Amino acid sequence: MTDDSPSSPYSRPVSPETSAGHAVAGKKLRSRHVMMITLGGIIGASLFVGSGNVIRSVGPAAILSYLLGGLLVFLAMRMLGEMAAARPTIGSFMEYARVGLGDWAAYLVGWLYWYFWVGVLAYEAVLGGETLHEWFAFLPSWAWSLLLILIFIGTNAISVRTFGEVEFWLASIKVIAIVVFLGAGLLFALGLWPNASFSVPNLWEHGGFAPNGIGVALTGVALVIFSYFGTEIAVMAAAESEDPAKGIRQATSTVIWRILLFFVGAVLIITMVIPWNELPEPVNVAAAPFTQVFSLLGLPGAAVVMQLVIFTAVISVLNSGLYSASRMFAALADQGFAPRFVAKRSRNGVPLWALVASTSGAVVATIVNFAAPASGVFDFIMNSAGLVALFVYVFIALTQMRLRQKMTPEEVAGLKLRMWLHPWLNILLIVAIAAVFVVMLTTEAGRTQVWTSLIATGVLIAVWPLVRRNLRKRRAAADAGVPSA
């Protein structure tokens, strides 16, 4: 039985408006675009710079932190892949949550996800503006930030193919930088690089593999799991590709080796090359662990090269973040969870209003950060999106469980991509995420993220009755054949 069987939960998982196929023929993403978005989508400043903080806190056992965090993300992606391969949709997990759990779940997870990207776009715009100001001081940082936002509104507004082409080259730079780092770093650690000595024992010397205890390595999962957030963009992009099913299988099936190679592999190289307790605090690009390793390799201009690579990562996130936020916002509008005009598409299938609206929060946050940095608005936006990754993974696990429960054995056998050990791995993922939540409450920074995130979630819950009432009116009008405004 195919997944389009009338009795299958996938026979009507998404509305026609949010199903794959909005992109105009000839303007869809090609396989190489999806492949590179899949490869480079999760490589950002959190790896290039932020990994230094994790290693300084955990020691070489940070390898375990990244491995365990990556395992949780891999399970969530596999669950999402099962649903997406059965019916690709631009709204992704929001659409499946609507069918599996109800309107309330789709509304909540969709808005939280969009809100998360508003914060990320603001952060990346600020960081990119400050970097450009250091290089070209004739414009203030805020002007550079706004200029970057305008540039990437443009790349996204032309067509999804243009977004894919820009992201292909930006992701290529990141992937090449990582591959060079891994290859040269391994040779250095093995003593096969000029003027290098065998340094693999750095993994267990200087206090041992877990100098602060294995427990700290487990708590480190709470720090690293957010570094992986963004893997779902590849699934959303695949829905607008020339071969959605192939792209989705590729994105979800290869995520584990991408995590092992890029994240776990990079941390392994860093901890072998440099003693963990000698890593400087990564307050800037020059002190980033990647820069430190490149400097030991004797490569000229290591700090400048890494600054260029990290800037590439920043603008890559701006590009892909605008894509992801605009598609989710348009999907929310398609379902009646956001104003209808937000769903309008251009001739090339780009949701222009959603694209512009998604940058409004970033623009406001950027201006507030420069005009009134002491107001706390920027910090609240960043912190209040802190739990979104955990929320999304829980909703994915619950939704996949629910949709699978509605299927017959024949329908399960016909799935193009299947989650293993259902539902036990779903339960494991939910329990593990609950543990990460508890761990976050043990630190001051974690508690700030938890409480501000709960405030933002509380606001959405308070507004839900109004949205639900409007949704019922809209559907009643549609059933009666009356066009809604």
Q: What mean pLDDT comes out for the span 249-272?
A: 88
8 A C-beta contact, residue 401 and residue 96 = no
Q: What mean pLDDT comes out for the span 373-381?
A: 69
Return the structure tokens found at 227: 């570094």
Q: What is the spatial distance between Cα 392 and Cα 398, in angstroms, rounded to a whole number?
A: 10
Of 259, 285, 220, 307, the C-alpha closest to 43 is 259
Q: Determine, yes or no, domain membership for 477.
A: no
Q: Determine, yes or no, domain membership for 313.
A: yes
Contacts of 145 (CB under 8 A, 6+ apart): 125, 126, 128, 129, 366, 370
Per-residue CA distances from 423 to 104, 134, 291, 361, 366 (Å): 23, 51, 43, 38, 43
Q: Determine, yes or no, domain membership for 203.
A: yes
Across the strands, what pairs with 198?
Answer: 190
Of 180, 483, 160, 212, the C-alpha closest to 348 is 160
More reliable by pLDDT, 399 or 126:
399
Phi then psi dihedrals of residue 19, to 5 deg: -70, 160
Q: Determine, yes or no, domain membership for 405.
A: yes
Q: Tell me if residue 29 falls in helix, strand or coil.
A: strand
Return the structure tokens found at 194: 């000029």
Q: Cα dihedral sign for 240, 399, 252, 185?
A: positive
Expressed in percent and rounded to 5, the helix, strand and coil fractions of the chain are: 75, 0, 25
Residue 85's pLDDT is what?
Answer: 84
Confidence of residue 1 (pLDDT cuts 50, 70, 90): very low
Count: domains in the chain: 1
Q: Determine, yes or no, domain membership for 10.
A: no
Q: What is the spatial distance between Cα 363 and Cα 129, in angstroms, rounded to a whole number?
A: 12
More reliable by pLDDT, 8 or 426:
426
Q: What is the spatial distance between Cα 438 and Cα 219, in angstroms, rounded to a whole number?
A: 10
Q: Give yes or no for a cis peptide into 423 (omega within 30° of 0).
A: yes
Residue 375's pLDDT is what?
Answer: 66
Q: What mean pLDDT comes out for the span 33-61?
A: 84
**Burial of residue 12 (number of CB atoms within 10 Å: 0-12, 13-18, 19+):** exposed
196: left (phi over 0), alpha (psi -120 to 50) or beta: beta
Residue 15's pLDDT is what?
Answer: 43
Confidence of residue 429 (pLDDT cuts 50, 70, 90): very high
Of 462, 113, 64, the C-alpha closest to 267 is 64
Q: What mean pLDDT comes out for the span 242-251?
A: 80
Q: What mean pLDDT comes out for the span 5-17?
A: 48
Q: Determine, yes or no, domain membership for 12.
A: no
Angle at 75 between CA 309 and CA 443, to 5 degrees: 70
Domain containing residue 41: CATH number = 1.20.1740.10
Q: What is the spatial distance between Cα 276 and Cα 270, in angstroms, rounded to a whole number?
A: 8
Residue 20's pLDDT is what?
Answer: 46
Q: What is the pLDDT of residues 378-397, one digit of tens each?
A: 677 766 776 888 889 999 99
Return the structure tokens found at 9: 């939960």
Dihedral, 88, 255, 61, 294 alpha carbons, nearest 10: -120
Q: What's 261's DSSP letter?
A: I
Residue 9 has pLDDT above 70, yes or no: no
Q: How many CA atoms lie within 13 A of 309 on its CB side?
A: 30
Of 233, 242, 235, the C-alpha closest to 28 is 242
Confidence of residue 88 (pLDDT cuts 50, 70, 90): confident
**Matching residue, tokens 């002491």:** 374
Residue 464 has pLDDT above 70, yes or no: yes
Confidence of residue 32 (pLDDT cuts 50, 70, 90): confident
Q: What mean pLDDT comes out for the span 243-250?
A: 80
Residue 360 has pLDDT above 70, yes or no: yes
Return the structure tokens found at 31: 């396989």
Confidence of residue 482 (pLDDT cuts 50, 70, 90): low
Return the structure tokens found at 271: 């901890």
Across the strands, what pairs with 255?
Answer: none
Q: Which domain holds residue 334?
A: 22-472
Q: Determine, yes or no, domain membership for 481.
A: no
Of 459, 81, 153, the C-alpha closest to 315 is 153
User: Helix crossing, 31-40 with 244-253: angle to 10°?
Assistant: 20
Please state, for a pLDDT cut of 70, what percent of the chain lies above it.
91
More reliable by pLDDT, 2 or 320:
320
Q: What is the mean pLDDT of the chain?
A: 85
Q: What mean pLDDT comes out for the span 420-438?
A: 93
Q: Determine, yes or no, domain membership for 14.
A: no
pTM comes to 0.87
Confidence of residue 281 (pLDDT cuts 50, 70, 90): confident
Residue 28's pLDDT is what?
Answer: 84
Q: What is the spatial distance between Cα 36 and Cα 170, in angstroms, rounded to a whole number?
A: 9
Other C-beta atoms within 10 Å of 442: how many?
Answer: 10
Residue 258 has pLDDT above 90, yes or no: no
Return the structure tokens found at 330: 């348009």
Confidence of residue 2 (pLDDT cuts 50, 70, 90): very low
Residue 22's pLDDT is what?
Answer: 53
